[in-house]
Chains A and B, each alone.
Chain A
Amino acid sequence: MGPPFKTISDLRKFRQILKKSRDGNKPCITICAGTGCQATGASEVVEGFRQQIKDLHLEEKIEVRASGCHGFCERGPLVVIRPQMICYMNVETKDVSQIINETALEGKIIDRLLYQDPLTQEKIVQEQDIPFYKFQQRVVFGSNGEIDPTRIDDYIAIGGYQGLEKVLSEMTPEKIIEVIKKSGLRGRGGGGFPTGVKWESCRNAKGKEKFVICNADEGDPGAYMDRSLLEGNPHRIIEGILIGAYAIGSEEGYVYVRNEYPLAVSNLTRAIDQAKEYGLLGRNILGSQLNFTLKINRGGGAFVCGESTALMASLEGRVGEPRAKYIHTVEHGLWDQPSNLNNVETWANIPIIINKGVDWYTSIGTQGSKGTKIFSLVGKINNTGLVEVPMGITLRQIVYDIGGGIPGGKRFKAIQTGGPSGGCIPESLLDLPVDFDRLQEAGSMMGSGGMIVMDEDNCMVDMARYFVQFLQEESCGKCTPCREGLQQMGEVLNRICEGNGRDEDMELLHDLSQVMMDTSLCGLGLTAPNPVLSTLQYFRDEYEAHIKEKKCPAKFCKELISLSINPEKCTGCTACVRVCPVEAIAGEKKKPHQLDGDKCVKCRACYEACKFDAITIQ
């Protein structure tokens, strides 16, 4: 009684058999094989485990599983050994045989691979006790570590596709929409529009056909949670989309995924093939009236395609130029038909809400923002990685309890949320509870979930310039305020950073911001001034220092600094000589070095390399 499954009960029986056949006590070595860990050599570690297990003929005794992203990218590659849930970090291929022999076979713990608490120096054995994980609530993201994303059976065995079974067997489309509305789920892509309301409008819209679309064009620089969900648990996304398709009355869906995410594309492609093979995509799914095909479209590399109308234009094979949304895409979207677009994380929430119910779901979060949110906590932070937290947690908890604070004893300066549409939040607002509305009140926004931490060495005018330059390249260039406005904003910010700022420049930035927010064609231009406005609001003194005193308080802006070596502090260790790319530093070992200011390109490599604080920036 294998696949394809013709009825719901066939699938249920199959799950029972799968569950029985899986021995919970069998040692299982799970290696995180998300892109972050792969970049630090996880593929080699996986290969090492597989090879040695094979060589030792231990295939029956020990399972090796390459799982999706566990989140703690800072310490990758991560390895978890079940059933004890022993968690090892920074594992290398040379550790493989020791892990097999000592931990997997004998249950012994290898001390040197454990997480060490930087404060207490205590070694922590289990994943859930590590502070990075302890304060999280991993509702959506948690199962990433439990399954091999390339095997549909793994997903089915942990209860996957039960949500689909439930809606097909006992819920009408209207009932599903009711549940999603009551759950209070809001779109995780940025705007936070209530998902159930969107579904209802799309269901009620008139059209020959309807589309459900998954926005996986995760474009915010510094945000990668959608990628990790697609890589780590693609079937949950498919299940969510199927439930949405049934609720909305759609027969065709698309996942629009960034081309820069090859692993996500391949895992999702495989998952779709498996779902087809199992009868979970196609015609008369599980014996129901539901027909549904799902296709993948790879994006062509354009940030603006995260905007719904641009994304749909791109799906039609056109350039990603947004159009006016006076007529909503739920009525006239892809191919001019009613279309419902949600992002990856939103879709991933759907099966959970259906399975666990509205009461459970609404118990998490705040009044206006229910459930959890995944953030990528990056930048100047000790524990870089993906964190899933209940809505309403404070920024301080995220930065200090989970993130472990700022490295190198530096001072926290700001946290940037919401990507290029968001803003920089200063230290004074660190106790702000994180939800859609509160972030917006603070002049930022939730966005897709990037949280970039900045310390005292980061210049806020430069940050504003960074986002404006980013958007200059990514604006589609159709409408005047966005195209010309960003160009002029960049111009003004450039001259401020270079020490040529004028007294009227801050007002000019305000005026430009206003016209862009008022008249831009799409969300990109409408929110583009946010990084500028929020830095103007919270870090006005830095702008003033640049303009009036021609100084960069963070000592970051190239044109406003000069580097020199303090001969009293320099020990002559040659660390700076070795890193200098332009050979501007000369000196013999154990003698103070000299820096040639004419050659220096102010790349700060020496500043960062010096362990004795001997490089001074003025």
Chain B
Amino acid sequence: MLNGRGEEMIVDLQAVCEIIEKHGYQKASLIGILQDIQAKMNYLPRKALVQVAKSLDIPLTHIYEVATFYKAFSLEPKGRHTIQVCLGTACHVRGGARVLNYLENRLDVKSGETTQNLSFTLENVNCLGACALGPMMVIDKKYYGKINPKKIESILEKYQ
């Protein structure tokens, strides 16, 4: 992954090895290992995946397949804050899609993308089980219920 200046970002391979060790070098733990790398580095750097492939003796094609299949993983660095808009059915019938739509316009990104200045990553999720609060969104694990465009503005201000 290149940073804004086109340089290869430094990847802490030592940390990757520690995560693999924590999972006991078991091939079956691949998804858990990738989750931990994602949590630590905020994305899955290519070099980290190459290391995982070597250490677990799994072809890189399989790891790339897994890393791009599951929604929990991102191959690009995420923003400092992650905004998740719930698009569960309960939130949908209460206007969840409109909330997402509004945020997409407001932040000028599509769902799944990160803003240019790396402030926010916008995602849609399928039901966070707080249906009583719908439509709702979560920013960095904090829940915001019964939201509307105006409310969003005042919430976003806190994260600028």
Asked if A and B form a direct contact in the complex, defined as CB atoms under 8 angstroms apart, the reply is: yes
Q: What B residues does A76 contact at CB under 8 A?
A: 132
CB-contact partner of A39 in B31, B71, B106, B143, under 8 A: B143
Q: Mark B66-106, 1 if CB is under 8 A from A, else 0.
A: 10011111000000000000011110111101100110011
| CB interface residues, B 130-156, toward A, < 8 Å | 130-134, 136, 141, 143, 145, 148-150, 152-153
Q: What B residues does A319 contact at CB under 8 A?
A: 65-66, 69-70
B116 contacts chain A at the CB level, 8 A cutoff: no
Nearest chain A residue, comparing its CB with the CB of B36: A298
A-B contact pairs, 14 of them (CB 8 A): A39-B133, A220-B127, A221-B88, A222-B131, A262-B141, A301-B72, A317-B28, A318-B62, A318-B66, A319-B65, A379-B89, A380-B94, A470-B87, A605-B149
CB-contact partner of A581 in B89, B129, B149, under 8 A: B149
A412 contacts chain B at the CB level, 8 A cutoff: no
Interface size on A, residues (CB 8 A): 62
B119 contacts chain A at the CB level, 8 A cutoff: no
Q: What B residues does A416 contact at CB under 8 A?
A: 89
Q: What A residues does B90 contact at CB under 8 A?
A: 221-222, 376, 378-379, 384, 452
Nearest chain A residue, comparing its CB with the CB of B105: A601
Which 6 A-B pairs have CB atoms at the shortest separation, nearest pair first? A300-B70, A224-B129, A581-B149, A301-B71, A378-B90, A222-B89
Is the pair B132, A224 in contact by a Cβ cutoff of 8 Å? no
Q: What B residues does A314 contact at CB under 8 A?
A: 31
**Shortest beta-carbon distance from B153 to chain A in Å:** 8
Given contacts A40-B145, A466-B92, A605-B149, 18 further A-B contacts (CB under 8 A): A39-B133, A74-B132, A222-B90, A223-B127, A260-B128, A298-B31, A300-B70, A300-B72, A301-B70, A302-B70, A317-B27, A317-B58, A318-B62, A378-B89, A378-B132, A380-B93, A470-B87, A581-B102
Q: What A residues does B94 contact at CB under 8 A?
A: 379-380
Q: What A residues does B69 contact at CB under 8 A?
A: 300, 302, 319-320, 476
Q: Mark A448-478, 1 if CB is under 8 A from B, else 0.
A: 0010111000100001001000100010100
CB-contact partner of B126 in A228, A303, A320, under 8 A: A303
List B residues at the A interface (Cβ < 8 Å): 27-32, 34-35, 58, 62, 65-66, 69-73, 87-90, 92-95, 97-98, 101-102, 105-106, 125-134, 136, 141, 143, 145, 148-150, 152-153
Nearest chain A residue, comparing its CB with the CB of B134: A378
Is the pair B70, A578 in contact by a Cβ cutoff of 8 Å? no
Q: Mark A127-145, 1 if CB is under 8 A from B, else 0.
A: 0000000000000000000
Q: What B residues does A604 contact at CB under 8 A?
A: 95, 98
In Å, the complex CA distance between A378 and B126 comes to 14
In Å, the complex CA distance between A580 and B90 comes to 23
| CB interface residues, A 568-593, toward B, < 8 Å | 578-581
Q: Mark A371-385, 1 if CB is under 8 A from B, else 0.
A: 000001011100011
Q: What B residues does A608 contact at CB under 8 A?
A: 95, 148
Q: What A residues does B128 contact at CB under 8 A?
A: 35, 260
Is the pair B131, A603 in contact by a Cβ cutoff of 8 Å? no
Q: What B residues does A260 contact at CB under 8 A?
A: 125, 128
A394 contacts chain B at the CB level, 8 A cutoff: no
Nearest chain B residue, comparing its CB with the CB of A224: B129
Q: Given A450-B89, A452-B90, A579 and B130 touching (CB < 8 A)?
A: no
Q: What A residues does B148 contact at CB under 8 A?
A: 579, 605, 608-609
Is the pair B89, A452 in contact by a Cβ cutoff of 8 Å? yes
Max count, chain A CB within 10 A of own CB: residue among B69, B73, B98, B136:
B69
Is the pair A221, B89 in contact by a Cβ cutoff of 8 Å? yes
Q: What B residues does A38 contact at CB under 8 A?
A: 143
A528 contacts chain B at the CB level, 8 A cutoff: no
A292 contacts chain B at the CB level, 8 A cutoff: no
A261 contacts chain B at the CB level, 8 A cutoff: yes
Nearest chain A residue, comparing its CB with the CB of B145: A39
CB-contact partner of A579 in B101, B126, B149, under 8 A: B149
Interface of B is mostly: helix
Q: What B residues does A228 contact at CB under 8 A?
A: 129
In Å, the complex CA distance between A608 and B99 comes to 14
In Å, the complex CA distance between A74 and B131 comes to 8
In Å, the complex CA distance between A261 and B130 comes to 11
In Å, the complex CA distance between A72 and B30 comes to 38
| CB interface residues, A 288-311, toward B, < 8 Å | 297-303
In Å, the complex CA distance between A49 and B31 comes to 39
**Shortest beta-carbon distance from A602 to chain B in Å:** 9
Q: Mark A534-570, 1 if CB is under 8 A from B, else 0.
A: 0000000000000000000000000000000000000
Q: What A residues does B34 contact at CB under 8 A?
A: 300
Is the pair A297, B71 in contact by a Cβ cutoff of 8 Å? no
**Shortest beta-carbon distance from A34 to chain B in Å:** 9
Is the pair B150, A605 in contact by a Cβ cutoff of 8 Å? yes
**Shortest beta-carbon distance from B131 to chain A in Å:** 4
Is the pair A259, B35 in contact by a Cβ cutoff of 8 Å? yes
A496 contacts chain B at the CB level, 8 A cutoff: no
Q: What A residues does B129 contact at CB under 8 A?
A: 35-36, 224, 227-228, 261, 376
**Shortest beta-carbon distance from B77 to chain A in Å:** 18
Q: What A residues does B58 contact at CB under 8 A?
A: 317
Is the pair A300, B71 in contact by a Cβ cutoff of 8 Å? yes
Q: What B residues does A35 contact at CB under 8 A?
A: 128-130
Q: What B residues does A302 contact at CB under 8 A?
A: 69-71
Is the pair B93, A458 in contact by a Cβ cutoff of 8 Å? yes
Q: Given A603-B149, A605-B150, A221 and B134 touching (CB < 8 A)?
A: no
**Shortest beta-carbon distance from B58 to chain A in Å:** 8
Q: What A residues does B143 contact at CB under 8 A?
A: 38-39
Q: What A residues does B141 contact at CB under 8 A?
A: 262
Max count, chain B CB within 10 A of own CB: residue among A261, A318, A419:
A318
Q: What B residues does A458 contact at CB under 8 A?
A: 93
Nearest chain B residue, comparing its CB with the CB of A261: B129
A316 contacts chain B at the CB level, 8 A cutoff: yes
Q: Given A36-B132, A318-B62, A300 and B31 touching (CB < 8 A)?
A: yes
**Shortest beta-carbon distance from A130 to chain B in Å:** 15
Q: Mark A235-267, 1 if CB is under 8 A from B, else 0.
A: 000000000000000000000000111100000
Is the pair B150, A581 in contact by a Cβ cutoff of 8 Å? yes
In Å, the complex CA distance between A135 and B141 comes to 34
Q: What B residues does A299 contact at CB under 8 A?
A: 31, 70, 72
Is the pair A221, B87 in contact by a Cβ cutoff of 8 Å? yes
**Shortest beta-carbon distance from B115 to chain A in Å:** 18
